[in-house]
Chain A
């Protein structure tokens, strides 16, 4: 085969593969008839190809192996399906649990937010007595009960009367008792 070029070897292999056009095959056939080295190379290539075919054929499996593989495939597929169902169930349960948690938390926080407000103690009532001096400014005296405010106002009125009487000479202060 030393005299055969790589190109010729490729041509012969392509012909053996059935991939030459009709014209190319016809030209090759003509060369096989006229070139002994070409025919010898073809014989060698056919021998090599037969050895490879025998080797490939020796790799083929058996019917028993086919049954084993089929059985394994169906068993594995069933296991995968069971796993998919289990994962789906876990997802559904997780989603339901998440919804319950969200609802619970919303209700919990909503409970404190919407709780009725305890009524506060009424504002302390203030009773005031206004005192005005000669400049017109007013000071407010505060009392926590109307009785005290009235008592103060009454006492102030008595004092003012007494002052008027004193200032008019009608009343004379004898002593203070404090």
Chain B
């Protein structure tokens, strides 16, 4: 049933609006964290399903933090399971290259290399990086989402960036 113009939106309508608005970014977060260890779409769907079934508990006017935290937790929970289905590099769930033909080949190659290098990092390094550099969250906010301390976040970021730099440097040296 459509809500009359001017009337406040119902919980379901607010929920749907939040999903449409935030899903594209949430997919990026899920994909960055799980890499090729699982289906980011399944993770996101499960996270949103959990929120939908308890939608009355939350305020859907400012849901970004809630949705992000739920997706991150679901992704990390899945990674902790003993058996993960590896998603092949050419699986449709695995974007890695922008599809736009206007993007120069070298940029796509860089993106692909960075993606491959990040996939090799431990999941908490990946989670900290995507929340810091993609979501522009503070160390304190990241610590709350990942349920750790601020020094731990700083360590993960520092070590993740150093490992990435080494991997990408070795790739650059190989193809130089």
Is A bound to B? yes
Interface residues on B, range: 35 or more
Q: Say how far A162's CB is from chain B's closest CB, in angstroms.
A: 115
Q: B97 on the interface (CB 8 Å rule)?
A: yes
Q: B27 on the interface (CB 8 Å rule)?
A: yes
Interface pick from A11-19, A30-38, A86-94, A149-157: A11-19
Q: A123 on the interface (CB 8 Å rule)?
A: no
Total A-B residue pairs with C-beta atoms closer than 8 Å?
104
Contacts of B11 in A (CB 8 A): none
Contacts A63-B20, A70-B16: A17 and B165 contacting too (C-beta < 8 A)? no
Contacts of B45 in A (CB 8 A): 69, 72-73, 76
Contacts of A22 in B (CB 8 A): none
Q: Say how far B140's CB is from chain A's closest CB, in angstroms.
A: 9
- The 8 A CB mask of A65-97 against B (1 = contact, 0 = none) is 111011011101100100000000000000000
Q: Does the CB pair A55–B19 fall under 8 Å?
A: no
Closest to B140 in A: A19
Contacts A62-B24, A65-B23, A70-B19: A56 and B32 contacting too (C-beta < 8 A)? yes
Q: B68 on the interface (CB 8 Å rule)?
A: no
Q: Does the CB pair B28–A57 fall under 8 Å?
A: yes
Among the listed B25, B97, B158, which residue makes an inter-chain contact with A58, where contact means beta carbons less than 8 Å apart? Answer: B97
Interface residues on A, range: 20 to 34
Among the listed A59, A70, A76, A77, which residue makes an inter-chain contact with B95, where contact means beta carbons less than 8 Å apart? Answer: A59
Q: A23 on the interface (CB 8 Å rule)?
A: no
Contacts of A55 in B (CB 8 A): 110-111, 114-115, 118
Q: B134 on the interface (CB 8 Å rule)?
A: yes
**Main SS of chain B's interface residues?**
helix
Most buried by B among A9, A13, A18, A58: A58
Most buried by B among A51, A62, A63: A51
Contacts A18-B138, A58-B97, A69-B45: A52 and B157 contacting too (C-beta < 8 A)? no
Q: Does the CB pair B52–A52 fall under 8 Å?
A: no
Contacts of A14 in B (CB 8 A): 154
Contacts of A72 in B (CB 8 A): 45
Q: How far, in angstroms, from A106 to B110 measured CA to CA in the complex?
A: 79
Q: Say how far B130's CB is from chain A's closest CB, in angstroms.
A: 6
Query: Among residues 8 to 35 in chain B, which have CB atoms less than 8 Å away from a CB atom of chain A?
Result: 16, 19-20, 23-28, 31-32
Q: What are 19 contact pairs spanning A and B, CB under 8 A?
A: A6-B162, A13-B157, A19-B138, A19-B139, A51-B110, A52-B118, A52-B133, A54-B107, A54-B114, A55-B115, A55-B118, A57-B28, A57-B134, A60-B27, A61-B28, A63-B24, A66-B19, A74-B52, A76-B49
Q: Identify the B interface with A (CB < 8 A).
A: 16, 19-20, 23-28, 31-32, 41, 44-45, 48-49, 52-53, 95-98, 107, 110-111, 114-115, 118, 129-130, 132-134, 138-139, 154, 157-158, 161-162, 164-165, 168
- Contacts A48-B165, A61-B27 aside, 6 further interface pairs with beta carbons under 8 A come to A13-B158, A19-B138, A19-B139, A54-B111, A62-B24, A69-B48
